[in-house]
Every structure is written in C-alpha cells, then in structure tokens.
A and B are shown apart, each in its own frame.
Chain A
Amino acid sequence: MIGLLRHHLAPYRRDLVIIVALLVLQVLGALYLPELNADIINNGVAQGDTGYIVRVGGWMLVVSLVVVATAIVGIYYSSRTAMSVGRDLRSRLFRTVQTFSLREMNQLGAPSLITRNTNDVQQVQMFAQVALTIMITAPLTAVGAFFMAIRQDGPLSLLLLVIVPVMVVLIGSIMVRAVPLFRAMQVKIDRINLVLRENLTGIRVIRAFVRTAHEEQRFAAANADLTDTTLRVNRLFALLMPALMLVMNLSSVAVVWFGGHRVAAGEMPVGNLMAFLAYLMQVLFSVMMATMVLVMWPRAAASSERLNEVLAVEPAIHDPAVPEPAMAAVRGTVEFRDVEFGYPGAADPVLTGISFTARPGQTTAIIGSTGSGKSTLINLVPRLYDVTAGAVLVDGVDVRDRARADLWASIGLVPQRAFLFSGTIADNLRFGAPGATDEQLWRALEIAQGAEFVRALPEGLEAPIEQGGANVSGGQRQRLAIARALVRDPAVYVFDDSFSALDYATDARLRAALREPTRQSCVLVVAQRVSTIRHADQILVLDEGRLVGVGTHASLMADCPTYGEIVLSQLSAEEAA
C-alpha cells in the first residue's frame, strides 16, 4: 500500500508540503493555548492583574483563529489531494483493464475487476484522506503535547508513561477482539442474505414442495446466529467508551493528586497544573484517534493489494510492433491453419488441429455439445485470444500481424449473452458505428426482426435501455444485439449462439432476412439448434476440441455419427430425414 500511495502522491508533492506545514501550524497553535491559559492563571489571576488577563485572552483568541484557519485550509488541500489520488488511481486501473484481452478478463473476472475499480479504490482513497489529516496531526499532537507537558512539569509527566500504555492496551485489546467479530458478522449477514434471496427466488418451488416451514427454520437458524454475533460486537463496543472515559477521568484525578504535591512543595505553579491537565487530554485523544484510524489500515492494505494485482497484470496480447498496413477493403476470408488453443496452465488444449476456410458469401456453422470449444473457436477470429499453435488468417494475413483496431473494424460480433448498454436504443445500435444514420439503424432493425417492436415503443429509437438491457425481453435483446452488428456492415460476421432466445418463427424469418446483407460477407455461426444451421454452406462439428466433421447437413448426416446424434436429440428420426 505504501508503494501505491507514494506513487500516486508523487505528483502532489507541493500540496503535501503545504498540508504538512499547515497541520504543523495547527498543532502548534492548539498546543500553545493551554500554555497561555497557564500564564493567565500564574501571572494574571494569582497576581490579580486584570489587564494582563485581558491581554493574554485576546492573544489566545488570535491563536484560536489561526488554528481554525490553518485547519480549514489544511482540509481543503488534504481533501483535494486524497480525492486526486483516488481519481488518478481509478483512471489508471480503468485504462489498465482496457488493455486486457479476454484471457486476463477471465483470469480476474469482470465482477472482481468492477469491485476493484470501484470499492477498492474508494477504500484507498478514504485511507489517503485520513492519512493526510489525522495520521499526521495525531502523532504530532501527541509528541508535541508530551513535550509541553514536560515543560509544565517534568516529574509529573512520568504519569503519561503509565497512562498512555494503559490506553493503548485498552483500545488495542478491544479492537483485536472486535475485528474478527466484525468479520464473522459480515459472513453471517451474507448468509442471511443468501437464505433470503433463495427464499425469494425459489418461492414457487418452496410453495410447490410445501417447504415453507423448513425455510423458516433455515432462516431462523441464520437469524439467531447473526443476532448472537451482533450482540457480542455491540456488547464489546458498549465497553469501549465508558472504559476510555474512565481512563481519562482517573488520569485527571491522578494529575490533581500528584500535581497537588508538587504545587504544595512550591516546585510548580498552580496554573501549570491546569495546563498539564489540558496537555494530558490532548495526548490521550491523539492516541485514541491514532489507534482507531490504524484499524483502517488492514482493510485499505487489502484493497491496495487487490489493486496492485490488477496493475501488475501484463496483457498477453499486444499489437505487433510493425503492423501490416490496413487494407482498403477487407473481403472476409477466414482461415484456420492447424490451430491449437489451450488455457495457460491447463493440461489439455481446448482446441487441437483445427483447419478450415470460411469464404465471403458463405455461411459456416459450428455445432457441438457444451464444452466442445465452439465459443473459444470463434473468439480466436477477433483475436480475443491468441492461438497457442497454428494461425488464424483473415484475408490471408495472420491476425497477429495486424493492428487489432483494423482487424476489429472488419468484424461484426454478436456474443452469446446479448449484452446491451444503458442509454437509448439508438446509442446501442451506434455502439460500433457512431456516424450511422437513422435510416441505417432502421434497416439493421428490419433485418434483425426488431423494427416492429421498436416502432411500437412511444420513443422509438430514443427509447431508453436500462443497464444490461433489463427492460427488454431476452428475444428483443438478442435482436438488438444482432442489429448492432449489422449497423457496422462488416466483412466478417460472428454469431455466437445468437438465436437461442428467439422462437422458431422469428429465427427463420431472421435468417431469411440476413441472406441479402451478408451476400458479400463471411458468416460464422455457432448454434445449438440444428434447424438454425442446417442450410449452412459448411458445417463444422466439434467434439472435445477436435473437428470431427466438415460438410453440409446432408453429407454429415451420412458420414458423421456425432452430427447424427446431435440431430436426433432434437428432431425425431422422420423429421431429420
């Protein structure tokens, strides 16, 4: 964490100097006040000098003003710096993730990366804010107040050597017990949420199986568990404040007692006694604040570690140093040459010995059971992964020899999960083609069988889409995702099981409509349904990462048993014929 903070604080060195200077000034001022008060008593009250009292009082007021002014300016700078650190860190993380390929995304997982880019940065930012204020003032005040206390009366200061450790041990021992309890409590909160979420999502099943009473018991157990832990946490914290108060109060009693002896012996003026009391409290408060802030440390440190982990990732896929020049018009021949692909560290490759050529104007379909490597195969085309052996070529050029931006410009991808972004329908359709006209959008919608429902919406193209496309149905989502790819008018289309949420009729209409715009393009389709792909020009049958059949529906039915098995599972024998 120190390294991370130092790196991101470096640009704000000037602000840091200002902050420290202001905080020192603030602490000095706060430390000076009790000293002045002692003067009032010793030289003013004890001598009966009213004029002196008023004079020093005025001076105290000036010092107070300086303290508040420095404090406010200090907070201005420290907030600004801490928030800047947060902003820079957040931006650095986001940019780093933008360089990731699918491999790094899967390795860390999108949800985890999201948490890191949001919550973890927030944690570090919060810690920076506290570090730039309390963690500077608290030690300064503690040390300063300690010296001032010694100045008031050396021997009496020995009391601090007893009181401060007592305080530290007290807070420390409570915190040491509290931290694991808090963690346990979080686990139990998660547990109760889990049970509850299951109860809500599974409510039909629970009722259908007449298990309401059972679920209530499950909840009751989680509830009792959580209640028990929460009670222990609360009771532990019930001790904290009274105990701290007791330490402070007994300290002042001790000061008056021992100080009283020193005053009686004439070794210390009585005004110093009161000043000493004030300094004692300053020391104790600082120690208290510092201890509590320190509890933030492990959390922030854990967050920084998670951030460092992301920042340290070296993306596996880079653009070539000297990319092949961008082609004026990509025709769209996709060729796999003896392609092998395996995940790093995995024993067996996902794909081996894949060779085929998909030509413009042709539809190449890929079919196979779950886990046979269909999605992986088509992810190699836009270079979301790199092959581990062999090569993928587009128009005869290895995809690794081209700038990825050029490669992507020629590809229209429709992913398995039709993911939409928040914004309007038009925003989503223009996602990959910012300059597309409304007519182009409508044409794409017509082909994707989405024009009808979009037209039915009161706002039409400007209808809002919620995050993830939550406000449209699965089928509509898929049609919009297809239209989004069509708007780009790419040379290569990649459909990854993109028709699954459509009913058969829509599926058939859509495929018919696609024929015209893809006349010049190379179309790659992954599908589960035989009906979707049986008319493809070329069907690739995958089984456990190997190509076990290439051909048309008819030829495969004749000579590929795996294909036959798949077809039969979906259609009865006479229908398949």
Chain B
Amino acid sequence: MSAGAATAGGRPGGGGSSGGPARPGGPAGPGGPGGGPMGGLLVPTQKSSDFRGTATRLSRRLGPYRWQILLVVGMTIGSVILAVIGPKLLGNATTMVFEGAVASTLPAGVPLDTIVASLRAQGQTTQADMLAAMDIVPGTGVDFTALAQLLALIGVLYLVSSLLSWAAAWIMAGVTQSTIYELRAEVDRKIGRLPLRYFDQHARGDLLSRVTNDIDNVSNTLQQVLTQLITSVLTVIGVLAIMFWMSPLLAVIALLTVPLSFVVTMVIARRSQQQFTAQWEWTGQLNGHVEQMFTGHDLVKVFGHADRAVEEFDALNARMYESSFRAQFVSGIIQPAMMFISNLNYVLISVIGGIQVANGLMPLGDVQAFIQYARQFQMPITQIAAVVNLMQSGIASAERVFEFLDAQDESPDPAAPAEPRPVRGRVAFEGVSFRYVPDTPLIRDLDLVVEPGQSCAIVGPTGAGKTTLVNLLMRFYDVDGGRITLDGVDTRDMARDGLRGSFGMVLQDTWLFSGTIRENIAYGAADATEEQVMAAARAAYVDHFVRTLPDGYDTVLDDEASNVSAGEKQLITIARAFLSDPAILILDEATSSVDTRTELLVQKAMARLREGRTSFVIAHRLSTIRDADTILVMEDGAIVEQGDHATLLGADGAYARLYQSQFAGAIAE
C-alpha cells in the first residue's frame, strides 16, 4: 500500500468481520475495497495435506504466463519503491517549509553561527542545537521554487506508482482469469472422461462445489497472493530500510510494536475463528430446522407439532444469536486493537522524534515521514498474515480440484475400434460376471441371447439392481468376466461412442436440459431436419400437447420443467429416442406420477418405438412381461432366473412367486 494510508486515527482496511461491504461473491482485486484480506484472516480456513506439492503444481499452471508475471513483479517492485520514497520526500518538503519559516524569523544578514552562539550564550541550548542542524540562511523565507520542484517530483512519483500498481493488477487479472478458464475447462473435459463408477460413488454436490467454489477460491488466491504478497513484503522491507536510514533509533521504536501487533492479531484471529465456526454450526442447524419446518409445513400443523417447532426454533435462534454476537464482537476488537497499537507508535514517534528535532538531531519533516512510515508498516503486516491464510485455503481448494483431475480415467477405446454396420441388434451375454463392490458378486456367469427384434423384460422389486444391466450394456461399467457382444463383436472392441450410438434409451428418470422442446427432442441427432423432428414428435404423441403450449416447440423447459408434466416429459424422451432411430432400445416403464391418459399415450408410444428393434425393458406392466421373449428376474441385485413367461411360471420359482404376489394377487384377489 502507498503513502496515503498513513493517517492519525484512520482505519486501515475495512475490518472484515461482516464479510466486507459490497462483495457479492466476487474475486477481490488487489487490496480490494473494504476488508477483503482481514476477513480472510478472521474466519477459519481448511488446511491442505500437501501444501508444497499443490503449490508447485498450481504455479506450474502459470508457466505459460511467466513473462507477464515477471512484468507484474517488476511493476509491483517499481510501484512499491516509489510509494516508499514518497513520504520521505514529502517530509523533506515539510522540513523546507519549517526551516524557511524559522529562517524568516531570524535577522537577515547575520550568519547562522552567530545566532546559534548567541542563543547558547542566553542558555537556550536546545534551540541553538536545532538551529545549528538546519541548512538555512537567516532572513530568507521558504524557497518556493525549490519546493515546487520537489512537490512536482513527489506528485510524479505517486502518479507513476499508482499507474504501475494499476497496470500490474490489470495484467494479473488477465493471467488469473486465463488460468482459471483453463482449469475449469479441464475439469469439465475430465467429467467426460471419468468412468460412471466415479459419479455413482461421489456426491454430486461435492463435485459441483469443486468446480465452482473451489475454483473460485483458487482464482481469488491467485489474484491476491501474487500482487498483494509482493506488495506487502516489499513494502515492509522498503519501509524498514528507509526508516533505519533516516533514524535507527526511531526505527527500532517503530519495530518494537511489530511483534505486539502480530501477537494481538494472531490471538484475536484464533479466538474469532473458533467463534465463527460455532456461528456457522448454529446457523447451519437453524437453517436446517427452518427448511424442514417450512417444507413440511402441513405436517407440522396437522400433527400438532407447531408449538414444539417454535420452541426448538427459539432454542436454536438463541444459540445462534449467542455465537454470532461473540464472533462479531471478537472479530470487531481487532480493529480498535490495531488502532491502539498504531496510536501508541504514533505517540512514541511524536514524542521521541519531537525531542530529537528539538535537540537538532533530526529535521522535523523526518518525524512526519516517520509517522507515515510507521502506519504504512502496520497494514502490510496484517495483510501478510491474511494472505498467508488465504493462500492456505486457496491451496486446499486447488488440491481438491487436482484430486478430481487425477482420478482414474475410463480405459481408453481400442486404437482400431470394430464397427459393425449396419447394426442388426443381436445382443449376447457370454458368461458375464460383474460386481460393484469386490466382495459382493452381483452377476455370475450370465448367458443370454437376444436376437434382433426380440425383447427382454427385466423384472424384480424396487432396488433389485435392474439398472445394472443397463450399465453393462451401455458400457457405463465394464464386465469383470465373460463378454457382451453386439452382432458377435465384443463391445469392448468397439469405441464407446460407436456402441452407444446403436442404443436408444428412455429412462424413468427423464433427463431434459434447459433449452427448448425442439432442442431436447433433437438432442441425440444434432443434424436432424425440422421434418424429422416433427415426425418423431408425432410418433411419440408429443406433437399434440406441444401445440397447446403458447410457444410450441420453442417452449423453454426451465430448471424444474414445471410447465410440462412428468408424463409429457417422458413422451419427449421417447421422441428423442425415435429421432435417433437406434437398433437397440433400453426402456424403463413408468410406474407412478403419470396421469392415466398420458400413461396410455406413453404405453402406445413405447410399443410403437419397440417395433422392429431389439429391446430391453425394465418392466412394470403385465402385458410387457408376458409378451417378452426373455424375462430376467432380479432379486437383491442378482439375476435369479431367466426364461419366457410360460417356462418360468412352470418352474415355480422366484418368478412364479413374484407373479403370484404382485400381479395375479393384486388383480384376482
């Protein structure tokens, strides 16, 4: 920071207790407005497990920008040097004024020595000493030409210093954002390469937070650390050097308060971190309570729980109040405490400097400069502490991002992938074994052949693992033993994209992205013509209801897609499958939350879609199951039986039991 920061009683920084004003989640510029850095010091940070390794790796990513960074460093050094010289020169200007003023009170034409001697003779030794130290000609006033020149020089220095620090921050912003852009893009590309296993095993919220919060944090760190750390460290060194050069005695005095402010900062920061942790915890609990009571509002009322809900709220609210009050108070102390130390410095320098000036050991302007330096000194020290803290949290974030980037990719596609064309749609499982968890085999030695155009129904209670088959067919997961062939070719010898291109999939969990209905239908076939989209829409009974929407096919499906019912969403995904015209289908029949009329349409559309295609159906309907060429019965994640309806019923095993209890039971009861 530069000279202006030095003021009596001014408030360095903003005191980040309240998060700093007006920072809606934005990355802070160097020394951004308000208390950015201080805030970083007072709130708890996460620690990284391999600080050095991650920091090295992060800095390697900056490699392509090394010349810009070098330039930034150079500019920052220049800016700091100029800013450090400023107060000293301004002090000289004050001295000029002071001495000029003193000189003008002395009789003109009398040599200075004579005046000093006469003062001594009168016993005014202190004044004599002071005058003796001055470089003045008695009787002359302030030399305004020289003063103007000096002040102009100072003005230019300050101007250049500000320009340099602006330019440095400007360049650094570019470097940071380019690096961050690349990092984000790399994470996204990584998503495309990871095996599905990874996503099934990791919480989605965690992944999201790595890409957004963590990368944001890294961005802040890069931007602030490089510019601020350099500025702060250099300022401390520069100010120290110039202070010692001007007056070693005052420099030592100014230094005396440094450890004090360091200790105070650390003690308060540690306590405040505890309080903030407590505050966060109670805030989280209270918010959780509010969330639940509001979401379950009708239950709370009808079950007569309202009074207890309020009681619990009050208890949590009181706890939260207590902890946030403490957090605010403790973190709020840091500012007055630093102010006091700063004032202490101010007084010491004023008094001791004043005595020195009075004794002619030092010009007055130097005292003024010293006061400024002493204050300039305080801020970067607090800032270094804050930046180090920020760096820790930034590196911890970078570590989480790198961890994601380091996750094992899917096995690569074969170099020369087999491409059965045209796909006839014969699917065979040959001695397939599979397990998600090493100790619990799910599928053992499964043999199954589905001829082109045949259908295979998969039945079993909820949670029996019916999606496992889908996972294997689509190669979302690879088999552990045996092989799956498509038209006689091992699916592992094919490129994944090529394999998946021959499948169409309609899942119960309809996935639509935010875009228009047209875009969603054309999702699997980007180059489809308007007519093709319309034809698919008509085939899937989408056309009718879309026309009733005000915007027709241009209706934008919002995040929750609340403008389109669940059944209609499923119809759209069926249209999508029609358009992609696959040889093989994977269908998941809807069970609930679809109204009866749409349900009828869904059934018809699915039946029509299945015509002439090999299909795998996760079945809930008797009609589908009975007509299937092969039925797979799953229980507890494993296939327990396979065969057609008549055979299985005759075998009087799991399928027969299932059929009796679920279907026949429900109907013939």
**How far apart sit A557 and B191, CA to CA, in the bound complex (Å)?**
53
When A and B form their complex, what is the total count of cross-chain residue pairs whose Cβ atoms lie within 8 Å? 526
Contact B306 A98 (CB under 8 A): yes
Stretch at the interface among A246-254, A326-334, A348-356, A443-451: A246-254
* Proximity string of chain A (99-128) to chain B, C-beta cutoff 8 Å, 1 when within and 0 when not: 010100100001001100110001001100
Chain B, residue nearest A238 (CB): B169
Contact (Cβ within 8 A) B304 A91: no
- B634-669 interface bits toward A, Cβ cutoff 8 Å, 1 = contact, 0 = none: 000000000000000000000000100111011101
Which chain A residue shows the least CB distance to B306? A98
| Interface membership of chain B positions 584-608, coded 1 if the CB is closer than 8 angstroms to chain A and 0 otherwise | 0010000111111111100100000
Question: A520-556 interface mask toward B, CB cutoff 8 Å, 1 = contact, 0 = none?
Answer: 0000000011010001000000000000000000000
Give the residue of A31, A207, A241, A535 whose beta carbon is less than 8 angstroms from that of B474. Answer: A207
**Is A83 within 8 A of B364, CB to CB?**
no
The answer to whether A200 and B358 touch across the interface, beta carbons within 8 angstroms, is no
A397 at the B interface (CB under 8 A): no
- Inter-chain contact B177/A231, CB cutoff 8 Å: yes
How far is the CB of A292 from the nearest CB of chain B, in Å?
5
Not counting A60-B350, A67-B336, A264-B144, a sample of 20 additional A-B residue pairs whose C-beta atoms are within 8 angstroms of each other reads A40-B354, A57-B347, A83-B321, A97-B294, A193-B212, A205-B511, A207-B476, A210-B497, A223-B188, A227-B177, A227-B181, A245-B3, A384-B301, A384-B302, A408-B304, A421-B296, A484-B303, A504-B663, A529-B592, A569-B596
Name the CB-closest residue of B to A83: B325
- Residue from B9, B126, B291 within 8 A of A31 (CB atoms): B9
Q: Give the size range of B's interface with the partner.
A: 35 or more
Contact of A238 among B173, B204, B505 (CB under 8 A): B173
- Chain B residue numbers with a CB within 8 Å of A278 are 7-9
CB distance from A424 to the nearest CB of B (A): 14
Chain A nearest Cβ from B494, distance in angstroms? 12
Q: Does A199 contact B (CB under 8 A)?
A: yes
Q: A508: which B residues are within 8 A, CB to CB?
A: 661, 665-666, 669
What chain B residues lie within 8 Å of A126 (beta carbons)? 18-19
Q: How far is the CB of B497 from chain A (nearest CB, A)?
A: 4
Task: Determine, out of B97-105, B395-403, B421-429, the stretch whose residues face the partner at the interface.
Answer: B97-105
Flag if B299 contacts A261 (CB, 8 Å): no
Once the chains are docked, how many angstroms separate the CA of A168 from the CA of B18?
Answer: 23
CB distance from A259 to the nearest CB of B (A): 7
User: Does A204 lie within 8 Å of B180, measured CB to CB?
Assistant: no
A44 near B462: Cβ-Cβ < 8 Å:
no
Interface locus among B48-56, B86-94, B236-244, B412-420: B86-94
B274 CB-CB contact with A under 8 Å: no
How far, in whole Å, are A24 and B500 apart by their CA atoms in the complex? 74
> In the complex, A230 Cα to B501 Cα: how many Å?
38
Q: Are A242's CB and B27's CB within 8 A?
A: no
Chain A residues near B336 (CB, 8 Å)? 67-68, 71-72, 75
Query: Could you say which residues of chain A place their CB within 8 Å of the CB of B170?
Result: 235, 238-239
Q: What is the CA–CA distance of A76 and B309 in the complex, to the nearest angstrom? A: 31
- With A and B bound together, what is the CA distance between A76 and B663 in angstroms? 70
With contacts A34-B9, A234-B176, A234-B177 taken as known, whether A105 is within 8 angstroms of B169 at the C-beta atoms is no
Is B6 an interface residue, CB under 8 A from the partner? Answer: yes
Does A264 lie within 8 Å of B667, measured CB to CB?
no
Q: List 19 A-B contacts (CB under 8 A).
A: A30-B9, A57-B348, A102-B298, A117-B294, A175-B22, A205-B523, A209-B576, A237-B169, A238-B173, A243-B162, A248-B4, A264-B104, A264-B144, A292-B21, A296-B21, A369-B595, A415-B298, A422-B288, A570-B596
- Which of B34, B169, B603, B666 contacts A292, CB < 8 Å? B34
Q: Which of B19, B180, B188 has the most chain A CB atoms inside 10 A of its CB?
A: B188
Q: Interface digits, A409-420 against B, CB 8 Å rule (1 contact, 0 not)?
A: 101010100010
Does B151 reach chain A (CB closer than 8 Å)? yes
In this assembly, does B142 line the interface, its C-beta being within 8 Å of a C-beta of chain A? yes
From residue 487 to 507 of chain A, which have CB atoms closer than 8 A to chain B? 488, 497, 500-501, 503-505, 507
Q: Cβ of B513 < 8 Å from any Cβ of A?
A: yes
A146 to chain B, nearest CB (A): 14
